[in-house]
Structures are given as C-alpha cells and as structure tokens.
Amino acid sequence: MSDLGTDFDLNGATIAGDTVYTSGERMDGTVRTRILASGTTTDLTANFVRTFEPSEKFGAVYTVPHTDTVIAMEQGDGGDPQYRYRIYDLQSGAERFRFEGDSLVPTGNGLFLTSVGGRSGYAGTQNLLASDGSTIRAIPIPSYSSSSYPSKPSTAVPMFLGDGAYDPESGDELWRSSQIVNTAMAGTGSAIAAVVGKTILVTSPETRTISGLDVESGRQLWQTPWQDAYWVRSGATDGDHFVFSDYTGMHSIRARDGKMMWSVPLPPEVDPRGVVVSNAGKNVSFSWQNHFTVWR
C-alpha cells in the first residue's frame, strides 16, 4: 500500500482501522525528544504530530487505541522506582495521570496493572488502576501475567491477574483460584495455557496435570494427568481443542472434557526448547530449527 519514512527514529507503529500511529524519538546530542504521530497509510502525519518533554533518560511512547490511551515512559534516576509514566488521552492529548513504578501495563477495557518492587523472579506489589489513575484494588497474590496464551472463547472472558479473575470494565473481583498461578518455578507466574470455549486450561508442574476450569466461576471441570505439564508451551485453538507442544511432541486436548485426542512425536534429534506450535489458517504449524510443517 505504501512505503513511507519519518523524520524521527521510528521504534513503533500501530494500525487501528484506517489510522496509523507511529512513535519514536529525535536525538539532539544526549537529549531525546519523544514523538507520536497519527495519520494514514499514505500520510503518516495527516492527523497530528505530538512531542513530549525532552529528556536525557531512555524512554518510549506507545498507543493503546482501543482505550484511547497514550503511554509515555522514561527511566528513573537509577534507584526505585525504575520508571516514570505519563498517561495521555489519545484524541485530545490531555494528560490523565502520572505514575512511578517498575511497570504499568494496560489491561481490561481501559484499566492498568501497576507493579512496584518487581525484580528478577518476583512480581513485587501490584495494584489495579482505573483509567484516571485512581487505585481500584491491590492484587492479593501478584504474578507475572500471561497475555500471550491462545484464546478463542465462547463467552466473555475476565482479566486474570495473580490468582484472581476480575471484571475488565470495573475491576470487580469475580472469583479466585490457586490453580491459575504457578509457584513451582522461580517467583510466581500464570498457569494459564489457553482459554477455549468456556474453559480455562491450566497446567501444574507439581501435580503433573492439565486441568479445565469454568471461565465464569473458576470451578474445576476436569483434570488430566500429563507427565510433561511443566513444559506445555505455545499452541493454537479452534475453539474446541487446544494443540500444544511439550518435551515429547505435539498434542491435542479437547477442552470440554480434557480428553487427549492425538499426539505427534518429536523426531529424536529435535531440541524441544526450539519447537513452536501455532495457527496456520485453519491448520496447525509444527516447526523447529529449520523445519516448518503444517498439519490438518
């Protein structure tokens, strides 16, 4: 459609509908001026170009179009907190609020998950903030979120933060379950492998099982023994099944009852750490190193 450049160093681009948002910075010696532009695929600055307060600190600007939000961040002074954030309205450019901490991540429908004191292996203290920066609640058991799991739900899905499920609009707590967090590795992380239909699939390295939880209540529906549950990773779903890889191969589990449908073993010479299972249209790709295969 187009091949365009910018007069600043580009570090991000997002397309929302017909609008293109580009962000980056312009250097003047050691001073960085962060820039956000909005336009089209033929004119990247057709709507606006905004500059942010110059600084010698490392930082970035990025957009979250579906919540009408811009996040500008920069490093702190070397101690705690690690970063300083400013949140702006995407359309008007008006500043909404400021936050200092170790992370600020958009979540839900316009809410934010914040972290203070997060260091290697630990999530620190986490709070859920409203769109204006006010605190909705503390997250009782903080964990590293898992936002990249395959998902094809047949009902509304809550936010999963720590061991709890929360309403994505209000931040209200819906239910909590120790099964959606994993404490077997360093620190606390998410145990969610996928959301399929009305079922959350979670893994347990301790019990070597895969379990299905009801997305609306957190109630356990089924549990399937699986020796390599500690290595369930990547995957794809068609809304009924979850296909994933582990140390032995590629497998398909049916979400409604936990039945293992089929398995494809890894070739003996393949390092399972390099295996990736993902969507390939209406098929599944099963790849490793310099091999790429597609399965029905």
Q: Cα–Cα distances in Å, from 10 out to 24, 41, 162?
A: 4, 15, 34
88 confidence band (pLDDT: 50, 70, 90)? very high
CA distance 63 to 6: 17
Residue type present at position 225: P
In this predicted structure, the answer to whether residue 153 has a pLDDT above a threshold of 70 is yes
In this predicted structure, the answer to whether residue 144 has a pLDDT above a threshold of 80 is no
Q: What is the pTM of this model?
A: 0.88
pLDDT the model gives residue 174: 97
CA distance 168 to 96: 20
CA distance 287 to 103: 33
CA distance 171 to 169: 6
CA distance 255 to 200: 8
Phi, psi of 283 (to 5 degrees): -115, -175
pLDDT the model gives residue 268: 86
In this predicted structure, the answer to whether residue 147 has a pLDDT above a threshold of 70 is no
Average pLDDT value for residue range 236-251: 95
pLDDT the model gives residue 185: 65
Average pLDDT value for residue range 202-223: 96
Token pair of 207, please? 């019990």
Q: Which residues face 50 on adjacent strands?
A: 36
In this predicted structure, the answer to whether residue 124 has a pLDDT above a threshold of 60 is yes
Residue 103 parent element (H or E):
strand 103-107
Classify the phi-psi angles of 277: left when phi > 0, otherwise alpha if psi is within -120 to 50, otherwise beta.
beta
CA 60 to chain centre: 18
> Lowest mean pLDDT: which of 79-83, 153-157, 263-267?
79-83
pLDDT the model gives residue 121: 52
**Cα-only R_g, the chain:** 21
pLDDT the model gives residue 142: 85
Long-range CB contact pairs, 272-275, < 8 A, 24+? 272/231, 272/245, 272/246, 272/247, 272/248, 275/234, 275/245, 275/250
Average pLDDT, the chain: 91
SS3 170: coil
